[in-house]
């Protein structure tokens, strides 16, 4: 019996520790309810095991001919489990005998009634909390909330990883939304020197096949990041994030071949093909903006 009580105490203490470890949650959710159910079932299982042990003990005593009750008065556990001493069995014997097995009118144990009515109370409380006053979200709403939280974590991770991009590992971007954002950056930072269509003003023409400092994504990214101080090209590495420079470099590559009016004369070396294969997938939707 002491071992059973010890196990129950360990389960309760373990549940308290787990609950303290999850204090970061804003409200009691499905996991906490599930833990409560598991603890309740564990206690019930322990009580069932104890009951079976008592039944086996009684059967053993009956097999060796001991008919006296184990104790004069019922103990606490015998009352909880509704166990009757052997001497009292004649009072609850229904007189039905099946191959030596007698039918007794044993009452339902109190713990079973407590468990039964407890499930009803739990169901009503669950209905009231989750469906009537809606204090806690249902599983579908909780799932959506977790998706939103995961999406925010993903965005933070992407921002963090975006700062690790440099001229050695940068790749071209073909996403229309990101290129649209890059177009806005181009209009703010680059259009004054390279023209709104990339036709070239003080800076070189970005729409032809001639390039001064390389036509692949790594070279364009490097030029944006470090600039060309000798020619007045500003280094944007201190004012733009790495992911923004990646998007801007990808946008610049989409301008090639757009042939805007008033384009500046070619400068640099002619590059027939751009080495970065990802650029071939970049759409030209933004060219006419």
> Using one digit for the tens of pLDDT, what is the confidence trace for 227-281?
998 888 989 988 888 889 999 999 999 998 888 888 889 888 887 654 444 444 4
Whether 215 and 123 map to the same domain: the answer is no
| Residues in the chain, overall count | 289
Neighbouring-strand partners of residue 104: 93
- Asked whether residue 146 is domain-assigned, the answer is no
pTM, entire model = 0.43
pLDDT tier at 67, thresholds 50, 70, 90:
low
Whether 120 and 9 map to the same domain: the answer is yes
Quick one: average pLDDT of 158-172? 78
- Compute the Cα dihedral for 132, 138, 140, 141 and give only its sign: positive
Q: Are 115 and 123 contacting, i.e. CB atoms less than 8 angstroms apart?
A: no
Does pLDDT of 26 surpass 80? Answer: no
Separation between Cα atoms, residue 177 and residue 182, nearest integer Å: 9
Give me the domain span that covers residue 90: 2-132
CB atoms near residue 166 (< 10 Å): 15
pLDDT tens digits along 120-138: 999 998 888 888 888 888 8
Last residue of a domain, one of 97, 132, 167: 132
Whether 16 and 118 map to the same domain: the answer is yes
pLDDT tens digits along 173-219: 888 999 999 999 999 999 999 999 989 888 899 988 889 888 899 99
Separation between Cα atoms, residue 265 and residue 212, nearest integer Å: 13
Q: Which residue has the higher pLDDT, 75 or 13?
A: 75
Radius of gyration of the chain (CA): 39
Last residue of a domain, one of 99, 116, 132: 132
- Asked whether residue 162 is domain-assigned, the answer is no
Number of domains, the chain: 2
- Asked whether residue 191 is domain-assigned, the answer is yes
Whether 101 and 189 map to the same domain: the answer is no
Separation between Cα atoms, residue 81 and residue 70, nearest integer Å: 15
Q: Which of 132, 289, 272, 261 is nearest to 200 (CA)?
A: 261
Report the CATH number that the domain containing residue 188 is assigned in CATH: 1.10.760.10
Q: Are 211 and 271 contacting, i.e. CB atoms less than 8 angstroms apart?
A: yes
* Model pLDDT, residue 82: 66
């Amino acid at each position: 019996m002491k071992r059973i009580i010890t196990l129950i105490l360990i389960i309760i203490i373990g549940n308290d520790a787990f609950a303290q470890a999850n204090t970061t949650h804003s409200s009691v959710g499905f996991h906490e309810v599930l833990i409560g159910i598991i603890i309740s079932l564990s206690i019930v299982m322990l009580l069932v095991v104890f009951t079976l042990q008592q039944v086996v003990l009684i059967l053993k005593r009956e097999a060796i001919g001991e008919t006296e009750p184990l104790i004069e008065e019922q103990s606490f556990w015998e009352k909880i489990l509704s166990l009757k001493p052997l001497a009292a069995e004649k009072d609850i014997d229904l007189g039905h005998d099946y191959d030596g097995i007698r039918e007794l009118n044993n009452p339902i144990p109190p713990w079973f009634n407590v468990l039964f009515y407890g499930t009803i109370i739990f169901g009503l409380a669950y209905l009231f909390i989750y469906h009537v006053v809606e204090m806690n979200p249902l599983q579908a709403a909780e799932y959506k909330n977790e998706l939103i939280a995961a999406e925010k974590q993903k965005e933070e991770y992407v921002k963090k990883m975006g700062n690790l991009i440099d001229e050695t590992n940068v790749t071209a971007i073909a996403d229309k939304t990101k290129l649209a954002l890059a177009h806005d950056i181009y209009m703010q930072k680059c259009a004054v020197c390279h023209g709104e269509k990339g036709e070239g003003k003080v800076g070189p023409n970005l729409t032809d096949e001639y390039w001064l400092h390389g036509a692949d994504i790594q070279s364009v990214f490097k030029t944006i990041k470090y600039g060309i101080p000798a020619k007045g090209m500003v280094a944007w590495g201190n004012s733009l994030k790495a992911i923004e420079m990646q998007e801007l470099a990808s946008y610049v590559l989409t301008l090639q071949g757009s042939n805007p009016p008033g384009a500046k004369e070619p400068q640099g070396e002619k590059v027939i093909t751009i080495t970065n294969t990802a650029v071939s997938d970049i759409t030209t939707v933004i060219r006419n903006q």
